[in-house]
Amino acid sequence: MDKEISQAVISRLPRYFRYLGELKANGKERVSSQELSAIMHVTASQIRQDFNNFGGFGQQGYGYNVSYLYGEISRILGIDRQHQLIIVGAGNLGRALAGYANFSSRGFVVRGAFDSDPKLWGWKIGEVEIRPVSEMEEFVRNNNIDIAVLTIPKDQAVTAANKLIDCGIKAILNFAHVDLDVPENVQVENVHLSDSLMKLSYNIGRYERTHNKK
């Protein structure tokens, strides 16, 4: 059985991957936890604890081999292999995501886009054609789709999610402002943009209150 890893650790792994990728691209061969700490604003102790959850990866007095660590985190995140995904909702946000180049560079291949608006059917975003939502279920079954990205209104999201789950979808990236109730074997990541803006608003106010006292 895999060791249970906290979501806090998992949420930091993509950041490690991104910064290590930058170091690798710049020709950096090894890095210490102190150097990573300075770049990422995470304590060196926390970095070592995070990596120890997966076996450590480093050597005392040497640090971490950048290329090796980058590859290991890629493997842990499961992006050393391709994932097939679809976009459900081809409005402005959906089209922007479908054309996002970093998806494919991280192993996420956008295979299809779906919308209920007949005016959009047949449009292409790069090589991806926008299709009717009525074709979504058959497409998912026939193309081994792993992940669905929902960029549709919340009143449509629950129905779409249930249909996708019935088709065997493994994960949903949910931009709809509704929390989805899904089986345990389906992974959901909620991206509520307004929640993030409200958090920013709070942090602006907190910063102003703190600094106005000085």
Q: Which residues contact residue 164 at a Cβ distance below 8 angstroms, ignoring those fewer than 6 apart?
A: 88, 136, 137, 140, 148, 172
The span from the CA of 187 to the CA of 171, in Å, is 4
**What three-state secondary structure class fits 205?**
helix
Instruction: Give percent of the chain with pLDDT exceeding 90.
Output: 73
Give whole-number Cα distances, 153 to 3, 17, 91, 115, 118, in Å.
Answer: 37, 32, 11, 11, 17
Identify any residues that bridge with 147 across adjacent strands, giving them in sequence order.
Answer: 85, 171
CATH number listed for the domain at residues 83-194:
3.40.50.720
What tens digit of pLDDT does each residue of 27-41 get? 999 999 999 999 999
Structure confidence by residue, pLDDT tens digits, 185-209: 999 999 988 888 898 999 999 888 8
Distance CA 85, CA 143 (A): 9
With CA atoms as reference, report the closest residue to 69 among 38, 40, 30. 30
**φ and ψ of 86, to 5 deg:** -125, 155
pLDDT for 213 equals: 67
Predicted confidence at residue 1, as pLDDT, reads 39
Do 135 and 152 meet the contact criterion of CB atoms below 8 Å apart? no
What's the pLDDT tens digit per position in 58-80?
A: 666 678 999 999 999 999 999 88
Give the model's pLDDT for residue 2: 58
Classified as helix, coil or strand, 110 is strand
The answer to whether 93 touches 37, Cβ cutoff 8 Å, is no
Collapse the DSSP code of 168 into the 3-class scheme (helix H, G, I; strand E, B; otherwise coil) and give the result. coil
What is the Cα–Cα distance from 152 to 90, expressed in whole angstroms? 8
Domain ranges for the chain, please list them.
7-77, 83-194
For position 158, what pLDDT does the model report? Answer: 95
When mean pLDDT is compared across 38-52, 75-89, 97-111, 157-171, the lowest value belongs to 97-111
DSSP 8-state symbol, 65:
E
**Contact indicator for 188, 162 with CB cutoff of 8 Å:** no
CATH of domain 7-77: 1.10.10.10
Among the listed residues 112, 118, 104, 106, the one whose alpha carbon sits nearest the alpha carbon of residue 88:
112
What mean pLDDT is predicted for residues 103-124? 93
Q: Would you say the CATH fold of 83-194 matches that of 7-77?
A: no
